[in-house]
Amino acid sequence: MVGTAHTGSWAGAHPEIVTCANMFWWPAGTEWEDRLASEPGTGQLNPLHPKTYQVVQNVIRDVLSLFPDNFYHGGGDEVIPGCWKTDSTIQSFLNSSKLDEKASLSQLLEKFINTTLPYIITQNRTAVYWEDVLLDATIRLEDKSVLPSQHTILQTWNGGPGNTKQIVSSGYRVIVSSADYYYLDCGHGGFVGNDSIYDQPPGTDQGSGGSWCNPFKTWQLIYNYDIAYGLTEDEKRLVLGGEVALWSEQADPTVLDSRLWPRASALAEALWSGSRDDEGKTKVAEATDRLNEWRHRMVNRGVGAEPIQPLWCVRNPGMCNAVHPAG
């Protein structure tokens, strides 16, 4: 995934093409809108530096040589204005532009995609971008011809079914990864230190515990989410499927298995076989028994999948349901 944002590490080899690298992510005394990144770890590629495209093309070529898939993910999420604005060349561009700042910043994104997407297409790949390139409130493509739908798939992560609707109604195919349902890292607090959000007086609302996408996404929530909710039949045909995401801010190999499994298995069944019967009723009770069995198979194979019920429930199928099996 090579996008403009989340590229601070590139500054180690090519500092000239990365803006705001290694700076504090939220400058003291500034508003959220003036941040340099949405979380610690700053750095975005500079669309105005010629060497940017030389390096990006080399990276794309290397990635494609390793993965023969028909798709290439071009990133595109969380491009933050403040980071680009720290660069003197970009500041000069903004100051000389006849457009307002928002439109000028969007032109930078357009330049980046308009320079990199054609190369991806020449390599016989379909490009995947995060929804931000079309839906971000500040930096987004105003000229959709830069992003031809026949060569592009967009991946959602914000806004639930509303953002999916916006994308397919614009004629784009979509992969659903809604943070409200499919983000497996949610609900474990935050990782930003000395944050007053953790210091709430006893007896008051304790909030989200620092997790921006709280609460924890249970397997039942994942299983029951209808990724085509509110879409017309024609729009549903543009929904390619869904993908859970486990971001690594608070996940490493020690917790990988338990964070993924069997919740990712719940997604697999829901998308491959459907989560509702012919009468439209959820199949979550039956899925519980299947996931219990599957979880134990994974454990026997050395996968540290987390339990979804006590062992007694596994040995007595149906007896741990909310409604009696005979009811």
For residue range 245-296, list pLDDT tens digits in order: 999 999 999 999 999 999 999 999 999 999 999 999 999 999 999 999 999 9
Structural domains counted in the chain? 1
Whether the pLDDT of residue 23 is over 90: the answer is: yes
The number of C-alpha atoms within 13 Å of 223 and in the hemisphere containing its C-beta is 21
Q: How far apart are CA 45 and CA 112, in angstroms?
A: 9
Q: How far apart are CA 270 and CA 99, in angstroms?
A: 47
Is residue 29 assigned to a domain?
yes
Sign of CA pseudo-dihedral 286, 290, 291, 292: positive
Of the pLDDT bands very low, low, confident and very high (cuts 50, 70, 90), residue 19 is very high
Query: What are the Cα distances from residue 181, in Å, to 48, 155, 299?
Result: 37, 14, 25
Is residue 19 assigned to a domain?
yes
Q: How far apart are CA 222 and CA 162, in angstroms?
A: 17
Q: Is the peptide bond before 27 cis (omega within 30 degrees of 0)?
A: no
Is residue 258 assigned to a domain?
no
Q: What is the pLDDT of residue 203?
A: 85
Predicted confidence (pLDDT) per residue in 26-83, tens digit: 999 999 999 999 999 999 999 999 999 999 999 999 999 999 899 999 999 999 999 9
Q: What is the pLDDT of residue 123?
A: 96
Of the pLDDT bands very low, low, confident and very high (cuts 50, 70, 90), residue 200 is confident
Is residue 90 assigned to a domain?
yes
Q: What is the pLDDT of residue 204?
A: 84
Query: What are the Cα distances from residue 192, in Å, to 8, 25, 195, 211, 250?
Result: 18, 11, 6, 10, 11
Of the pLDDT bands very low, low, confident and very high (cuts 50, 70, 90), residue 317 is confident
H-helix or E-strand containing 19? strand 18-19
Residues 186 and 211: beta-carbon distance below 8 Å? yes
Burial category of 181 from C-beta neighbours within 10 Å (exposed 0-12, middle 13-18, buried 19 and up): buried
Is residue 277 assigned to a domain?
no
What is the chain's mean pLDDT, rounded?
95
Q: What is the pLDDT of residue 207?
A: 78
Q: What is the pLDDT of residue 327?
A: 58
Is residue 113 assigned to a domain?
yes
Strand positions, DSSP E, 123-204: 126-130, 152-156, 173-176
Of the pLDDT bands very low, low, confident and very high (cuts 50, 70, 90), residue 325 is low
Is residue 324 assigned to a domain?
no
Name which of 32-36, 91-95, 234-238, 319-323 the model is least confident about. Answer: 319-323
Question: How much is the average pLDDT of 310-326?
Answer: 87
Q: Which of 78, 110, 131, 269 is catalytic?
A: 78
Whether the pLDDT of residue 86 is over 80: the answer is: yes
Closest among 168, 148, 166, 147 to 158, alpha carbons compared:
166
Q: Spell out the residues 6+ positions from residue 22 whose beta carbon is closer than 8 angstroms to its own.
A: 8, 11, 42, 43
Full-model pTM: 0.94
Token pair in block for residue 129 = 């971008």
Q: How far apart are CA 321 and CA 327, in angstroms?
A: 11
For the question of residue 78 being annotated catalytic, the response is: yes
Of the pLDDT bands very low, low, confident and very high (cuts 50, 70, 90), residue 118 is very high
Is residue 239 assigned to a domain?
no
Domain extent, residue 90, equals: 1-126
Q: Which amino acid is at 105?
A: L
